[in-house]
Amino acid sequence: MAINQEFLNKYAKAIVKVGINVQKNDNIIINCDLDSLPFVRNIAKICWQAGANDVLIKINDNELQRIAYEDAKLESLQKVEDFKVDYSVALMKNNYHRMSINSEYPGYFSHINEERLRAAQIAKAKASEPLQKYMDQGNIKWVVADTASPYWAKILFPDLDEELAMENLWNLIFQSCHIDANDPIKNWEKHDQYLKLYENWLNKQNFEYLIYEAPNTNLTVHLAENHKWVGGSSTTPNGIKYMANMPTEEIFTTPHRNRVDGYVTSTKPLAVMGKIINQFKLIFKDGKVVDFEASENADVLQILLDTDESAMHLGEIALVPHSSPISKTEKLFKATLFDENASCHFALGQSYAETLINGENLSDNQRLKLGANRSLIHVDFMVGSNELNITGVKKDGSKTSILKNGEWAFKL
């Protein structure tokens, strides 16, 4: 068995044609790591062939990041130079659409001191804050996708040699991203239509709040005023569709930051800041995390919650049936992009403007009044399983089953 080169090319084409949906004269910035560079060369070629005006590549290296975490002065980790932020803002102002093509490195920074991780995390988050208003406007298309790497492959397949582990990981990525012998563009168009069915149904219901029930979970989540469910493709103000995450199986919206009560327990590990947080439980009162516990790396979870005051509030609620293609792989990817699309999930921190009606035209304060959260972080964590039941409740008190035993409770 060998890595399927035809599928690699189809995957690259899907990322360019469906993910970022390159149009003639588009400007593109691609952020990638060294492992992904050979694949990104193919992506760049397809972008140029599609008529892109400019294709910039920014390469990151996890090993250089590890060296910085270990040996840089703490004050160096605590800041991002202004000119770097200015450059990122200039790209936004000039409508450089963003592609993030990387491999995953779960646990790679597990030995790094928490204080140093926290310093770098907060500095990076603050540096990204000026970019948010450009993202909220909806003009910038973006896509996040992953590639296989020897490190990630050996984490997932420790008993296989490196070559076979890589082949297996690439096949999982292809399966999860609807890459097969058929036309990948048509595959994604069909998948988008499927997601839009559920998006439209949920928007018609106009639920006031949702009730989550599962072992070690009993949570009531009110939805923000004027909330809007989003699934599959997003659309720019001038009508260009794009797919922000590949893979994607979620239908998501904005919870009310001050109206979440009860407790919820994670069903999959959370990979964040190069570490793995296992088996954690969050207790909410009036929308805020008031207590938590975790079997591993609780200190990292504390770092996240302490990022800013709003990091203790929810910014996203997402529905994913347990039988999603990623869940069917029966593989824990230890990577949020994949694991969140195998499972219902929440996100601590920032909410998305597109999940409010006319959200792109509202100020931060206007969105806040509707219940949307504003934070330096956006961290997804998984809560779905085949034991999860979700009930939607309308303003008149009527109840509708949304998910039963992890699956859609209705047919469309």
Q: Can you give the chain as a three-state secondary structure string?
A: CCCCHHHHHHHHHHHHHHHCCCCCCCEEEEEEEHHHHHHHHHHHHHHHHCCCCEEEEEEECHHHHHHHHHHCCHHHHCCCCHHHHHHHHHHHHCCEEEEEEECCCCCCCCCCCHHHHHHHHHHHHHHHHHHHHHHHCCCCCEEEEECCCHHHHHHHCCCCCHHHHHHHHHHHHHHHCCCCCCCHHHHHHHHHHHHHHHHHHHHHHCCCEEEEEECCEEEEEEECCCECCEECCEECCCCCEECCEECCCCEEECEEEEEEEEEEECCCCEEECCEEEEEEEEEEECCEEEEEEEEECHHHHHHHHCCCHHHHCEEEEEECCCCCHHHHCCCCCCCHHHHHHHCCEEEEECCCHHHECCHHHCCHHHHHHHCCCCCCCEEEEECCCCCCEEEEECCCCCEEEEEECCEECCCC
The mean pLDDT of the chain is 95
pTM comes to: 0.92
pLDDT in tens, 7-45: 999 999 999 999 999 999 999 999 999 999 999 999 999
How confident is the model over 248-304, as pLDDT tens digits?
999 999 999 999 999 999 999 888 877 889 889 999 999 999 999 999 889 889 988
pLDDT, position 1: 52
Summarize the confidence of residues 173-186 as an average pLDDT: 95
51-101 tens-digit pLDDT: 999 999 999 999 999 999 999 999 999 999 999 999 999 999 999 999 999
What pLDDT score was predicted for residue 200? 97
Q: Residues 347-352: what's their mean pLDDT?
A: 96
**Residue range 307-339, pLDDT digits in tens:** 899 999 999 999 999 999 899 888 989 998 999
Superfamily of domain 5-408 in CATH is: Thermophilic metalloprotease (M29) (3.40.1830.10)
pLDDT over 90 at 115, yes or no: no
Q: What is the pLDDT of residue 51?
A: 98
* pLDDT one-digit tens code per residue, 192-245: 999 999 999 999 999 999 999 999 999 999 999 999 999 999 999 999 999 999
